[in-house]
Each structure stands twice: as structure tokens, then as C-alpha cells.
Amino acid sequence: MHSVWPPNRHNKRQPHIMYHDRTSGIYGKGKLQAVQLFNRSKYMQDIPEIFNNPKSTYTDIERAGVHHRIAQQHEESSLNKMKYECFNQLVGQASSAIILSKLPPTTEAAHQHCCRTFHQVQTWQGQCLNP
């Protein structure tokens, strides 16, 4: 069984967000860094509403997820470009094998992940969605 951090410990604005202690860092960014980014950005604070709304379109869901990933890096304008730049940086620093899991996802992979996440959130909320 895993514990859940109290929502108000890291984020008083969005009490419906839960932070699991088994969540790993996201592409080289730590959990606390992700929560701090969430607290600083108005746009980021709107993302949970998109995933909690059963009437959200897949376009809205994908856009929210991609913007979330890009916001974690601050520099790039697309996930594919961000992945390419991160790969080049890792190659330049590598003295051994590159750990590919440290790279951000491609745009297509992020879209699929966002759709799966949306479906899971809706299932937890008791919504029965068409595939």
C-alpha cells in the first residue's frame, strides 16, 4: 500500500490533486520541482480541471499535457524539439550509455499518455466514456 501526501502540504489551490510517494521524478525533474512549477503557473493550475471534466475534448487534453511537459523545461516550443535538444545534450555529456528514460516523450507519445490519463481519471470518478 502506498501513502498519499496531504494535498494542502504542497498545493493549497488545488486540493483535489493527490501526490503519491511512489511517483518518480519526471524526465530528470524531481516531484517537488513539478509541484513548485504547478504553484507558479496559472495555466498549470487549470490543467486538472481539463482532466476532471468528462466533456473535455481530446484536443484540449492533448494540448494541456503537451504544455505541461514543455513548461517543465522552459526553453523549447515542441516536445519533439525538446527531445532532440535533450538527446544532444546527453550525448555531449555521456561517458557511458545514455539513459533514454531521461528524455522527454515525443509529441505522439505524450498525446497517448494524456488520453490514457484522462480515461483513468474519468474511470476513478465513475464516468463511463466511449472508447
Residue 22 lies in a domain: no
| DSSP code, position 16 | T
Does residue 99 lie within any of the structural domains? yes
Give the residue ranges of the chain where pLDDT is below 50.
1-16, 18-23
Q: How many domains does the chain have?
A: 1
Within a domain: 114: yes
Other C-beta atoms closer than 10 Å to the C-beta of 12 total 9
The mean pLDDT value of the chain amounts to: 75
**Which residues are bridge partners to 29 per DSSP?**
26
Q: Is residue 24 part of a domain?
A: no
Question: Is 9 domain-assigned?
Answer: no
Residue numbers of the domain that contains 108: 31-125
Residue 80, Cβ neighbours under 10 Å: how many? 15
Neighbours of 70 (CB within 10 A): 18
Which one, of 121, 46, 78, lies nearest residue 129 by Cα? 121
Please indicate, yes or no, if residue 11 is contained in any of the structural domains: no
- Give a yes or no: residue 18 inside a domain: no
Identity (one letter) of the amino acid at 26?
I
